[in-house]
Amino acid sequence: MCLSNATKRKFERSAWVATILLAALCAGGQSVPAKAKVDAKSAAAASELDWWKNAVIYEIYPRSFQDTNGDGIGDLNGITARLDYLKELGVDAIWLTPVYPSPQVDFGYDISDYRNIDPQYGTLADFDRLVAEAGKRHIRIIMDMVMNHTSDQHPWFLASRSSRDNPYRDWYVWRDGKGQTATGKGQPPNNWQSLFGHSAWQWDDKTRQYYYHKFYIQQPDLNWRNPAVHRAFEDIVGFWLERGVGGFRFDAITTLFEDPNLTDEGVVLDKNGKPVINAYGDPQLDGSKTDNQPGLHQVVAEMRATADKFASTRFPGTRALIGETYLPNIGELKTMYGTPQHPEFELPMDTQVAFINKLDVAGFRARLVDAESRLGVNTPLLLFDNHDNPRIDARYGDGLHDTAIQRVISTILLASRGAALVYYGDEIGMKTTPPSRKADVKDPIGITGWPKEKGRDGERTPMQWNDTANAGFTTGKPWLPVPPNADTINVRAEQSNPASLLAWYKALIQLKKTVPAFARGSNVMLDTENTKVLSWLRQAPGAPRVVVTVNFTAQPQTVDLAAAGSGIAPEKLKTLLKSPGAADPASLHHIALGPYGVYIGQML
């Protein structure tokens, strides 16, 4: 979790016209010799194994994507109905945030049954149909797997809280209070806090102990020191693998374990030595005893081994494991890939790049170099936002050039080496739209933290499909209001506009898939002293090299990517994609970029 309070309101006034020049791809219709057929077969098998390495993974918040039954809440059939859109966009996989039965306190992240679908979203049959229809379009479905906690309505917790000697008691983290007596509950066992505000310990009157919850009170933490919990989740993961899912995104994975001695966490101090107070009015703690604790890697390795068991059954290909890994540095991130003997995640999220939160060329360059050089042979998973963070406009936009800035960000996301997470609606430039009144807030942290923390509703508003009532999301009353800007920012409008952000995303994704230097090339930074323009080279053995250059400023800039000492010869360039306003450069010596302009060219 990384929640920012700084949800700035932005408006759009962009005059950019994209000119998209994609390399033409032609497939010949000649007959194929036998050896070539064998080669094609092994290439197909290899691509099934490696599909995730250059994948575009599209995150859907199902509640907000497409409603088909008029209840104002998106559903699985809505996602199935929109698969052709996703196919055309070029996505390889869809990550669904949780769709399991849930009381919906945390909109699905409080699960009460791990082997079914919440009736709000549909049925298991609808899910199977989604997997099958997505499969026909070579799109995999990735499930969210929440293992840190369950709902307090899950039968395991109901049993656990029913008595101290129930067999499920030890599935959760129960402790006596400090100074607890036969009649008094004392104080919570230590100073640990919920990430969602206030003490992480909740007193339970029936069995007279406190239970630990890193998130909402209704989300009691599981006890990962209990081997039965491990076995239960291996079975659950197997259940979904048998239904053909392409992998999992492991939620809040770094919080599985806590310090067994329950040592207090440190209080974060400001530069004057005073405690930093968070949006909930509590002193900010350093997370040193409840995050990234010993034991975590073993669990991930177990899940990896479980997923690998399914690699050769009914559904071919690697099951990719994604980690929700907010970590303090690249060294910690590297450990989440595991080792060759004990592999862990294929794709732990790289939050180092995502949350720089300002257009700082040197900062981006340093973090991208880290992703390229400090993760060993592993594949970075880049992203810029998700259902927990204000969208790109609120963290990188300037209110005047938002569409152009979105082109800059999406180019970094999709023209760098690795897999990429795209949050639904980013491809059309949807804007963060937080509630303006506390009474309208749906996300409980927005109620606890109002007005400093307005919650996450602003980045979860309904997908904007067209300019009809409710943006084509629902015929009912949408669970969150559709932003007024849906009149102009919507899929239908952008589909018919070759200059739109949607057209830009499609073009970038197509380049990512079809240009060999993008599909398998490394990243090498160019012009590394420049503080206004970020430039890099993509190169793969035997493939033409490609340069990418993005202007981080509102002023026009010119770069010389073949300057003396750069090691790059001033070859001719073929434009693959560019923002408008820039003429095709005559050579690498002189590439002119407009405000927040982008240029991608292949060396001839």
Q: Which residues are known catalytic residues?
A: 251, 324
- Nearest-angstrom CA–CA distance, 46 and 65: 33
Closest by CA to 374, choosing from 435, 333, 327, 402, is: 333
Is 338 in contact with 301 (CB distance < 8 Å)?
Answer: yes
Q: How far is the CB of 95 from ligand GLC (least distance, A)?
A: 11
* Closest residue to ligand GLC, based on beta-carbon distance: 109
Q: How far, in Å, CA of 65 to CA of 460, rounded?
A: 9
- Minimal distance in Å, beta carbon 221 to ligand GLC? 10
Nearer to ligand GLC, 128 or 388 (CB): 388
Closest by alpha carbon to 533, among 512, 556, 514? Answer: 556
217 binds ligand GLC (CB under 6 A): no
Binding mask 170-209 for ligand GLC (x = CB under 6 A): ----------------------------------------
250 binding ligand GLC? (CB under 6 A):
no
Q: Which is nearer to ligand GLC, 63 or 506 (CB)?
A: 63
Q: Which of 360/388 has CB closer to ligand GLC? A: 388
Cβ(476)–Cβ(72) below 8 Å? yes
Q: Does 1 bind ligand GLC (CB under 6 A)?
A: yes
d(CA 275, CA 281): 11
| For ligand GLC, the closer CB: 215 or 424 | 215
Quick note: the x/- pattern for ligand GLC over 91-130, rule CB under 6 A, is ---------------x--x---------------------
Q: Is the dihedral of CA 306, 309, 313, 317 positive or negative?
A: positive
Gap between the Cα atoms of 43 and 500, Å rounded: 35
CA 220, chain centre distance (Å): 24
**Would you give the DSSP letter of residue 560?**
-
The CB-of-3 to ligand GLC minimum distance in angstroms stands at: 9
Q: State phi, psi for 22 to the nearest 5 degrees.
A: -90, 140
Residues 361-390 that bind ligand GLC (CB under 6 A): 387-388
Q: Which residues in 305-344 contact ligand GLC (CB under 6 A)?
A: 324
Beta carbon nearer to ligand GLC, 109 or 224: 109
CB of 149 to ligand GLC, least distance (A): 7
- Strands of 533-539's sheet, edge to edge? 522-526, 533-539, 546-551, 598-603, 573-578
The CB density around residue 193, as the number of other CB atoms within 10 Å, is 22
68: tokens are 């088909």
Q: Which of 100, 172, 215, 518 binds ligand GLC (CB under 6 A)?
A: 215
Spell out a b/e string for 320-330, using b for 16 or more CB atoms within 10 Å of the CB, else e: bbbbbbbbeeb
Is residue 143 within 8 A of residue 94, CB to CB? The reply is no
Q: Which of 92, 251, 427, 457 binds ligand GLC (CB under 6 A)?
A: 251
Give me the least distance between CB of 218 and ligand GLC, in Å please.
11
Q: Minimum distance between the CB of residue 373 and ligand GLC, rounded to whole angstroms? A: 28
Going by C-alpha positions, the residue among 94, 78, 90 that lies closest to residue 134 is: 94
| 3 or 508: CB nearest ligand GLC | 3
Q: How many CB atoms lie within 10 A of CB 410?
A: 23
Q: Residue 106 or 370: which CB sits closer to ligand GLC?
A: 106
Q: 484 φ, ψ to 5°?
A: -60, -25
- Cβ 219 vs Cβ 110: under 8 Å: yes
CB of 377 to ligand GLC, least distance (A): 28
Binding mask 137-166 for ligand GLC (x = CB under 6 A): ---------x--------------------
Q: Which stretches of the chain bind ligand GLC, using CB under 6 A? A: 1, 106, 109, 146, 215, 251-252, 324, 387-388
